[in-house]
Amino acid sequence: MNKIILSSAMSALLLFAIPAFAQTAATPAPAAAAAKVTIPSGVFYKGLGPQQYAAKDKLIGANVVNKDGVVIGDIKDLILNSSNEVEGVLLGTGGILGAGEKEVGVRYGALQFSKKDGKTVIALPQATKDVIAALEPYGRGAKKSLVEKAADKMKALADKTKEGAGPALDKAKEATKSAVDKAKELGKSAMEKGKEAVEVAKEKAAPAATAPKQ
């Protein structure tokens, strides 16, 4: 009977402890904690300035036209030098939906940017059909394989998971220990009450058992 009482008490406590633990582990750090972090100056941007734009928003994937306004390709990537400065772009030309496409390297200074109907137009006036056809495909040289890229992604994911799981794991340990301690206390109290109930039952049963028969 005592084991049944203890088991029921621990089960009831854990039912309340598990949702509380889940909520605690998922709760983000309060804004006050973030305010204590000192942000280094001259390192980060709060947002795009009036003379800035994100390459992926307005450059990567943008169409490039010739002097007649005919699309000759689209920008696939940026070419940077050893000082991490943009020197050019990779222009995907020809092909259909990427199939049979040829990439050519274009110097950044050769591109002409203008506005038309509120949109940015990128032109390469020197790029005639014959010139594009005569160009050799751009030599990319050594680049990361799909396996290496996948490994980098997995490492980044593992680092992020580890970084975020640290505080949550500590809270989980504290919540589990607290739940176990409370379960022990509740179980001990239930056992004591169970013993008292048994003693009372014995006391009440004793006179009836010893009473003379009529």
Per-residue pLDDT tens for 147-196? Answer: 766 777 777 787 777 666 666 667 767 777 777 788 778 777 777 777 77
71 and 134 in a single domain? The answer is yes
The more confidently predicted of residues 128 and 172 is: 128
Cβ neighbours for 191, distance < 8 A, ≥ 6 positions apart: 2, 5, 6
pLDDT digits 0-9 by tens, 203-212: 766 665 555 5
- In a shared domain, residues 5 and 74: no
pLDDT attached to residue 111: 97
Per the domain annotation, does 76 fall within a domain?
yes
Whether residues 98 and 87 share a domain: the answer is yes
> Which residue type is seen at 139?
G
All residues at 6 or more sequence positions from 114 whose CB lies less than 8 Å from its CB, including other chains: 120, 121, 123
Interatomic CA distance for residues 71 and 62, integer angstroms? 10
Which pTM does this prediction carry?
Answer: 0.52
Quick one: pLDDT band at residue 5, thresholds 50, 70, 90?
A: very low
- Domain closes at, from 116, 142, 168: 142
In this structure, the answer to whether residues 197 and 135 fall within a common structural domain is no
Same domain, 68 and 136: yes
Domain boundary (142, 163, 193) is at 142
Q: Are residues 138 and 170 in the same domain?
A: no
What average pLDDT is seen over the chain? 78
Residue 37 lies in a domain: no
d(CA 91, CA 72): 9
Residue 208 located in a structural domain? no
pLDDT of 146 higher than 60: yes
Q: How many Å apart are CA 173 and CA 169, to the nearest integer? A: 6
Contacts of 60 (CB under 8 A, 6+ apart): 75, 76, 77, 78
In this structure, what CATH number is given to the domain that contains residue 114?
Answer: 2.30.30.240
Whether residues 154 and 107 share a domain: the answer is: no
Instruction: Identify which has the larger pLDDT, 92 or 203.
Output: 92
Domain contains 44: no
212 vs 38: which has the higher pLDDT = 38
pLDDT at 19: 52
Looking at the fold, whether 135 and 166 belong to one and the same domain comes out as no
Which position has the higher pLDDT, 93 or 2?
Answer: 93
pLDDT digits (tens, 9 = 90+) for 47-91: 999 889 899 998 999 999 999 999 999 999 999 999 999 999 999
Residues 116 and 148 in one domain: no
Same domain, 83 and 126: yes
The verdict on 126 and 170 lying in the same domain is no
User: For the chain, how many structural domains are there in total?
Assistant: 2
What whole-number distance in Å separates Cα of residue 207 and Cα of residue 32? 68
Q: Which amino acid is at 76?
A: K
Backbone angles phi, psi at 142, to 5 degrees: -70, 135
Higher pLDDT, 64 or 28: 64
Q: Are 184 and 7 in contact (CB under 8 A)?
A: no
Any domain includes 55: no
H or E segment and range at residue 193? helix 146-210
Which range of residues forms the domain containing residue 80?
62-142
Helix (H, G, I), strand (E, B) or coil at 90: strand
Give the pLDDT of residue 6: 46
So what's the pLDDT on residue 21? 47
SS3 of residue 46 by DSSP: coil
